[in-house]
Structure 1
Amino acid sequence: MVSTTTESVNSRRWTMDAELEGLDYDPDEEEPFVPLKKVPNGDVFEAARAGDLERLGYLLELGINVNARDAWDSVALYYACLAGNLDAARMLLENGAICSEHTFDGDRCHYAALNLKVRRLLKAFEARPPPLGPLQSALRDTFISCPANRSSALFDQQPASGHFAQDGISYIFPPDVTFFVHGRPIEAHRVILSARSPFFRRKFMDDWRHRQEVRFSKGKLSYPALYSLVHFFYSDRLEIAVDDMEDLIRICKVCECEGLRKVLEKELVHQKYAEYKSLRDVDNSQKRFILQGLSLPEEDRLPAAMQRFLRISLSNFSALAILENAEDADSSSQVLANMPSHSMEDLADVCILVSGKIFRCHQVVMASRSEYFKARLSRMTGFREGTAGLHGQSLPLLEEHDLSPETFDKMIEFMYTDSLKDIDPDQAEEMFDAASRYLLFPLKRAAADALLPHLEMASPAELCDWLILSDMYDVLKIREYCLDAMACNFEAFADTSKFRAMLLRFPPPSGDSALRTTLPSAPGAGGTTNQGNILDDLREKWLEAEAAELDKRDESAALFDRRLEMLILVANEERIHDGC
């Protein structure tokens, strides 16, 4: 675990963007101001203060809250800045630490920065906020693709990451509710608002159940504040003018967003006490407050909210074997007619039939996460696909073939929450196939993360199968894990017939290093998805594991190639013998 974390940390070396070069950042200044220490059992605050990148990287890989506070109400970034640990500060910023100068934590970090190089780093990350996660980015693009939302001044400088046609006409997933505040529209989707706010959920179940437009007449309601809150519901990133924060706090109270309200109230107190720093006669620019969802408790973030809503939806219809309980079309129709649909509080607007089991889902989530479902749902207007003989079903129904309900259940769990809690190893190949078929490529990485604990207990023969599978479906993390295990335990693998037979499946390694098609990468690291000769990568990793000296690498590589040739000859003889 330690070596893997170290490689992962080293692979994320930070480089300055071209447009930020004017900040005069000097890479030669990266040497720490104080000697670094090791805190192998320390928490994130001790690791940041000591500059222990190995421990800090390990904690971040575990998913700790990078903006958590200690007993002195300080965050880890504050201690890294105070000690002048540039690499530790960079690692925290890359993982979502808040550094905006006009926030409580941001101001503390700026004023505590030990030297100019740390302050330059903070400024650079202010200009480049951390990227959103896949779920947040997909839903945010859907929100901003709505014409009324796209025209908002809040995003004049922040276009959506999605691609829109040059003539302004492109397919967008349509909103199902529009709010009007002082005549200005905000388009949204009921399921997202209901998942994030108990107030909206009650309203959509009762007063606003059949309304597509809601007009607010209260004069005190602020359009910028409501727009910022709705955008936060989709993206887990809040950006609002400081002058509108009081209005937003009032809206959060009505919408019962208690976690966000408490953070905003505390920040508003800080802003009021910081007024003396603002020279309005010189700097009259509007100050903005930026909040990342990672600053909130886990239960108040978008994935947790969507997981709660998904659990309600699946409890209604998942695991109902419609076709198994129905002998013919008439009985199927009767079964569906007896199932409540409008009375359910999950706001589902599409049913998906998988091997006789129905899943109640939400079109906006399915279309936002998968181009396959976006294209299929966009063509579902005016008819119900696959509902022949199932007249009792009031929602549109799609039928998916060649897929098990268990795999589909895991797939939509990822689509709604960006995570997989656990996965059956026997289910892996179907999961990888589903990720490719439904154009849901981040699912491969999530499945790989869930499978790694199983791989640690796998035998050499099983790891050979995993390597073949990961190479076939381009699952980089599992591929690299298997190659690392084989390189570090090469002779143990060479003694197995499974490994020798596997060598016959791949082309031989290139003899000249100039012709080698790939270089090994750290487990889980980004890079090209087009893998080259897998035996080239195995040879490179074997050379690293053997710690060959630089001037002897060619000799060691030739030795490795001769060893492979012998194993391939043995594998051919074994195959001929087995064929006889």
Structure 2
Amino acid sequence: MSELDDIDFDLDDFPSTTPLKKVPYGDIFEASRAGDISRLRYLIESGINVNARDQWDSVALYYACLAGHLDAAKMLLENGAICSEHTFDGDRCHYAALNLNVRKLLKAFEARPPPLGPLASDLRETFLGYQQQFAGDLSSGGTSPSYFPPDVVFYLHGRPIEAHRVILSARSPYFKKKFETDWRDRREIRFSREKLSYPAFYSLIHFFYSDRLEIAVDDMEDLVRICKVCKCESLQRVIEKEVSHQKYADYKSLQEIDNSQRRYILQGSSLPEDDRLPASLSCLLQICLANSVREQNDLVSRIGSLKISAFEDDLADVCIKVGDKIFRCHQVILASRSEYFKTRLSRMEDFFEGKHRLPDYNLPLLEERDLSMEAFEKMVEYMYTDCLKDIDPDQAEEMFDAASRYLLFPLKRAVADALLPHLEMVPLAELCHWLISSDMYGVSKIREYCLDIIACNFEAFADTREFRAILLTLPPPSGDSSLRTTVPSAPGAEMKMTEGNVLDDLREKWLEAEAGELDTRDESALLFDKRLQMLMHMAEQEQFLE
């Protein structure tokens, strides 16, 4: 159909063609069939696998397409549902789509796979960058990553694949055992088996880094055999099932399809949580932290002569000293996640900062100052797992500062997500503090939340001395979007190009909360400005009396 060529559209232009229902206690399949967006959103936020199958071997996206629920289908696709044509699930969704609009939606997302998370995206970029470098393909747009070099090269049929032992060991028990035994001191590993498929092996290594499997249908049976050897059991089961689906699809197809042009895509979210990239690196991180504590105890007991006791091998290749604690880390993860560490490690030549205290230490040692051990540990937790657990609200501001200093901007969003539930219970004065802090560090989520609460409860805040005091520190409302309340001075801090003057934004939110008519909007804005002037005058008098 020629109409499918234009895949760019606005979802608002295509409302669902069937009435929506509510299934407050339904599963993901019932919610998709009914088009219950609120229930679907709750299930997705709870971490449910959007590519799970029911007793009839159907996925949630199939039911959303069958019922013509565009909004439900779009939500599933944005959260990793797979819709590739010429695959078992993809073809079912395309053929079952109730109308043309649903098919256009599927086509749009087929051309634009769901984005990877920050951790998977960063490591994937690192992996692909090295394959380009090794192949001499830097002229095509790749950049030469001269930092954290891979420590192992696999050769299949004369073709190389560069990788890092720590990533492979974290993802596969087979590789972990091999690197501890037969391959312990080997830089190059050559496979002589002619039946070992290079595309299948490459796809698996790429999956270890990116948590996304992309493979040609012709190579899937080879991948099953490799997964069996590498003890990737959950991935093996999924691929085996998909192979049988592909055979059935071939049997039912009306025409021959060139398998070399057909590709299968699998998101890591389709696997059990323990087999995904963040969980694998989280286990590795726990070993590193345990070894770091052990080294700290040795440091305290043997000043000037550190002797590391036997501990589980964590393949650490760099140590970061923060305060009195030494953290064992991995260059590939630090440099992939943070531009600060990427630059510093790329210039590192046998760094041993403070080595006069540790004469027998055999790993490069970097020292970080003006940062607490607790904040650094939380930052490393995010770098390895893409999430934060049990963050102390009193630590949030230091974490915002660390995210700016270490050029780890996605960390701000993670801290904001952890901080928001706490802000629902804090007094008004503390919300005023968080408004100023979030504006200074460019944390939009906290800033917007504070502005919304203040706009909806303006009179209550106007009665607080803390709110009146911060008005004296802010530029007056101007309506000029080029003005900024603050420009963060921390190295590498993001410029807030989409945020304007705080009081301008507060005025806009107050006008929205008041739901004023358009013809009285200017008058209402003028009244708001006069109210602010009165509050600032009160604050000046209170400051003078002090």
Q: Same fold (TM over 0.5)?
A: yes
Do the aligned partners of 1:318 and 1:360 also contact (CA within 8 Å) in 2?
no
- What code does the residue aligned with 2:75 have? M
Distance 2:134 2:497 in 1: 33
CA distance in 2: counterparts of 1:187 and 1:401, whole angstroms: 34
Contact persistence 1:100–1:126 (CA under 8 A): yes
CA distance in 1: counterparts of 2:86 and 2:135, whole angstroms: 26
Q: Deviation string for 1:105-136 (max 9, x for gaps)?
A: 22221121111111121111111101111000
Q: Secondary structure at the match of 2:266?
A: strand
User: Which one of 16, 37, 60 corresponds to residue 32 of structure 1?
Assistant: 16
Match of 1:79 among 58, 63, 75: 63
Q: How do residues 44-443 of structure 1 correspond to structure 2 at under 5 angstroms?
A: 44-147=28-131, 151=135, 169=144, 171-277=146-252, 283=258, 285-318=260-293, 321=296, 325=300, 331-334=302-305, 336-340=306-310, 344-443=312-411
Post-superposition shift, 1:472?
A: 0.9
The alpha carbon displacement at 1:33 in A equals: 0.9
Distance 1:168 1:104 in 2: 37
Equivalent position of 1:570 in the other structure: 538
Q: Distance in 2 between matches of 1:324 and 1:345?
A: 19
Using the alignment, how far apart are the partners of 1:29 and 1:234 within structure 2? 38
| Residues 323 and 426 of structure 1, relative CA distance in 2, 3 Å threshold | farther
- Aligned pairs for 1:408-487 (under 5 A) are 408-487=376-455
Change (3 A) 1:325 1:168: closer
Bigger drift between 84-93 and 315-324 goes to 315-324
The DSSP-based 3-state class of the residue aligned with 1:178 is strand
Deviation of the 1:73 alpha carbon: 3.2
Matched-pair contact (CA < 8 Å) for 1:322–1:358: no
Q: Which amino acid aligns with 2:319?
A: C
SS of structure 2 residue aligned to 1:240: strand
**Unpaired runs of 5+ in structure 2?**
485-493
Question: What CA distance in whole angstroms lies between the structure 1 residues aligned with 2:77 and 2:249?
Answer: 24
Write the deviation string for residues 408-434 of structure 1: whole angstroms up to 9, x where unpaired: 100000000000012111111111111
Q: 1:210 to 1:540 in 2, by over 3 A?
A: same
Q: CA deviation at 1:26?
A: 8.0
The amino acid of 2:49's aligned partner reads: N
TM-score (norm 2): 0.92
**In 2, are the aligned partners of 1:322 and 1:357 still within 8 Å (CA)?**
no
Measure, in 1, the Cα distance between the counterparts of 2:71 and 2:278.
29
2:304–2:356: 8 Å Cα contact kept in structure 1?
A: no
Find the residue that maps to 2:387 and give its secondary structure: coil
Residue 538 of structure 2: SS of its match in structure 1?
Answer: helix
Kindly provide the CA deviation profile for residues 449-504 of structure 1, in whole angstroms up to 9, marking residues without a partner as x: 01111111111001111111111111111111111111111111111101111111
Number of aligned residues = 535
CA distance in 2, matches of 1:407, 1:282: 55
Report the Cα distance in structure 2 between the residues aligned to 1:268 and 1:422, rounded to whole angstroms: 42
After superposition, the Cα gap between the structure-2 partners of 1:200 and 1:170, relative to the gap in structure 1 and judged at 3 Å, is: closer
Alpha-carbon contact 2:172-2:231 (below 8 Å) kept:
yes
Any gaps of 5 or more consecutive residues in structure 1? 1-19, 157-162, 520-525
> For residues 507 and 42 of structure 1, what CA distance do their matches in structure 2 show?
51
1:477/1:118 Cα in 2 relative to 1: closer, same or farther (>3 Å)? same
- Taking a change above 3 Å as real, the CA distance of residues 467 and 189 of structure 1, as seen in their structure-2 partners, is same
Tell me the SS of whatever aligns to 2:355: coil
Pair 1:518–1:99, CA change in 2 (3 A): farther
Query: Could you give the per-residue CA deviations for residues 509-531 of structure 1, whole angstroms, max 9, x where no partner exists?
Result: 12xx5x35599xxxxxx995552
How far apart are residue 318 of structure 1 and its match? Answer: 3.2
Question: 1:517-556 maps to which residues of 2 (within 5 A)?
Answer: 529-556=497-524
Q: Aligned with 2:116: secondary structure?
A: coil
SS for the counterpart of 1:239 is strand
Is 285-294 or 459-468 further displaced after alignment? Answer: 285-294
Q: Which amino acid aligns with 1:221?
A: L
Contact 1:197 1:257 in 2 (8 A): yes
* C-alpha RMSD over aligned residues: 2.7
Change (3 A) 1:550 1:57: farther
- Which residue identity lines up with residue 392 of structure 2 in the other structure? D
Q: Which residue of 1 aligns with 2:489?
A: none
Give % identity. Answer: 68
Query: Residue 569 and residue 26 in structure 1: after superposition, are their counterparts in 2 closer, same or farther (change >3 A)?
Result: closer
Report the residue type matching 1:287 in the other structure.
R
In 2, Cα distance between the equivalents of 1:170 and 1:361? 19
1:286 partner letter: Q
More deviation, 554-563/207-216: 554-563
Which secondary structure does the structure 1 equivalent of 2:264 belong to?
strand
Structure 1, 290-299 or 134-143: larger mean CA deviation: 290-299
Change (3 A) 1:61 1:333: same
Give how far 1:320 is off.
5.1
Structure 1 residues 71 and 166, CA, compared in 2 at 3 Å: closer, same or farther? closer
Structure 2 residue matching 1:185: 3-state secondary structure: strand
**Whole-Å separation in 1 of the counterparts to 2:213 and 2:447:** 38
Deviation digits for residues 179-227 of structure 1, max 9, x if unmatched? Answer: 1112111100001000100010111111111111111122221111100
